[in-house]
């Protein structure tokens, strides 16, 4: 319970209609929990919210849809320091609804968390980073390049009332030893979070001691909303050797995306992500990439994120320029050491080499089919 400056605010919020055209095929559902017991989602919900200070809901900051995408310099800064995180901006989540998770793949299950957050307030992703380093896991390439994450999140805006969700990162080492109660206290007292959204299998606190039920209980105690979402289930007619994972219950996951990339099933990858997979390559020096007339071979060491397995891929697109405004159809061959890009339109060569800056960064968008 809040005391002193805190106040009880009772208001009626009607869920905004979001673009949910893909959802019937995904077969998801969710329970809406605010405290206990569990309530079923209705078109009109009454929430008892206890904000950190007695300010009206109208004062909460709105996030307006922007067409801007990460710049070329942002991608180069990723190459220089992969572990740099904007932790100093975490106060910006105050008054917002945060989705909790690792959000490696930014897949359709993660998108669903943000969709539900947007129905209650400004949506944010609160990501925990540095987990592998703390737990001693072997480092692995991210599924989404760091410099490409804002672009992906901007594509979710039509599902979220034209609000672009923002992402803020917390070093896992700073919260690893927190009990479930201490973790919820941190969200409230340090970040000013108004509510949280999590999946039904979410675990938190030291040694994953807390579950979704405890999250709801603690949030109710501290005057925060807790919204527990059922997992988005994978409706693919076959699984990619998922039986070896004891945690898998058929839900969409980053593990499934990685395994789909490992077998080169780009159609399946697209279904899990809700978009085509984009691989980003960055030049190692100022000279950029060495172009031939219509073909380019790039070392795998230039990759900023995870690509598919070795093989031949057609129906791909090469995106060039700071804003990716030059789009060239191409095919891609991946071998043990290189990524070979062959342009379908030889005449575009002159456009590509007209600016050296344009050939320092390459984006490859994979089609749905492997050749």
- Which pLDDT score, from 0 to 100, does residue 250 have? 86
**Mean pLDDT taken over the chain:** 75
Number of domains in the chain: 3
- Which pLDDT score, from 0 to 100, does residue 94 have? 87
Alpha-carbon distance of 73 to 85, in angstroms, equals 16
Both 213 and 287 in one domain: the answer is no
Q: Does residue 156 sit within a domain?
A: yes
The CATH number of residue 104's host domain is 3.40.50.620
Answering whether pTM is above 0.85, one says: no
Is the bond preceding residue 215 a cis peptide, omega within 30 degrees? Answer: no
- Which pLDDT score, from 0 to 100, does residue 41 have? 32
| 128 confidence band (pLDDT: 50, 70, 90) | confident
Cβ atoms of 78 and 147 within 8 Å: the answer is: yes
Both 251 and 152 in one domain: the answer is no
- Which pLDDT score, from 0 to 100, does residue 240 have? 56
Q: Could you report the per-residue pLDDT of 177-216, keeping only the tens digit for each?
A: 999 999 999 999 999 999 999 999 999 999 889 999 999 9
Both 63 and 132 in one domain: the answer is yes
**Which one has a higher pLDDT value, 363 or 18?**
363
Q: Does residue 371 sit within a domain?
A: no
- Which pLDDT score, from 0 to 100, does residue 65 have? 29
| 276 confidence band (pLDDT: 50, 70, 90) | very high
| 132 confidence band (pLDDT: 50, 70, 90) | confident
**Which one has a higher pLDDT value, 62 or 5?**
5
Q: How far is CA 29 from CA 105, 160, 295, in A?
A: 21, 17, 47
- Which pLDDT score, from 0 to 100, does residue 288 have? 73
Both 149 and 261 in one domain: the answer is no
């Amino acid at each position: 319970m809040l005391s002193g400056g805190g106040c009880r605010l009772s208001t009626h919020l009607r869920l905004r209609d979001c673009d949910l055209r893909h959802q019937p095929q995904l077969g998801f559902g969710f329970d809406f929990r605010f405290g206990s017991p569990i309530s079923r989602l209705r078109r009109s919900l009454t929430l008892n919210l206890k904000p950190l200070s007695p300010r009206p809901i109208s004062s909460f900051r709105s996030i307006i849809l922007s067409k801007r995408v990460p710049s070329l310099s942002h991608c180069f800064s990723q190459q220089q320091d992969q572990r740099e995180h904007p932790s100093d901006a975490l106060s910006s989540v105050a008054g917002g609804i945060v989705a909790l998770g690792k959000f490696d793949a930014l897949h359709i299950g993660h998108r669903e968390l943000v969709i539900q957050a947007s129905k209650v307030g400004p949506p944010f992703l609160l990501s925990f980073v540095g987990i592998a380093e703390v737990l001693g896991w072997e480092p692995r390439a991210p599924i989404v390049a760091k410099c490409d994450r804002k672009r992906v999140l901007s594509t979710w805006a039509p599902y979220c009332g034209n609000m672009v969700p923002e992402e803020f990162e917390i070093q896992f080492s700073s919260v690893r030893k927190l009990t479930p109660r201490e973790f919820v206290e941190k969200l409230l007292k340090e970040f000013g979070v108004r509510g949280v959204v999590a999946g039904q299998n979410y675990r938190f606190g030291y040694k994953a001691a807390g579950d979704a039920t405890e999250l709801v209980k603690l949030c109710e105690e501290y005057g925060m909303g807790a919204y527990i979402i059922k997992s988005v289930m994978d409706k693919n007619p076959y699984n990619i050797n998922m039986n070896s994972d004891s945690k898998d219950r058929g839900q969409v996951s980053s593990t499934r995306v990685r395994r789909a990339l490992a077998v080169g099933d780009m159609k399946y990858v697209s279904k899990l992500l809700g978009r085509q997979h984009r691989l980003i390559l960055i030049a190692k020096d100022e000279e950029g990439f060495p172009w031939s007339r219509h073909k380019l071979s790039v070392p795998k060491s230039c990759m900023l994120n995870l690509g598919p397995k070795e093989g031949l891929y057609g129906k791909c697109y090469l995106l060039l320029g700071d804003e990716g405004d030059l789009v060239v159809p191409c095919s891609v061959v991946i071998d043990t050491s290189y990524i070979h890009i062959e342009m379908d339109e030889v005449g575009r060569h002159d456009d590509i080499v007209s600016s050296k800056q344009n050939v320092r960064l390459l984006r490859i968008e994979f089609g749905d089919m492997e050749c």
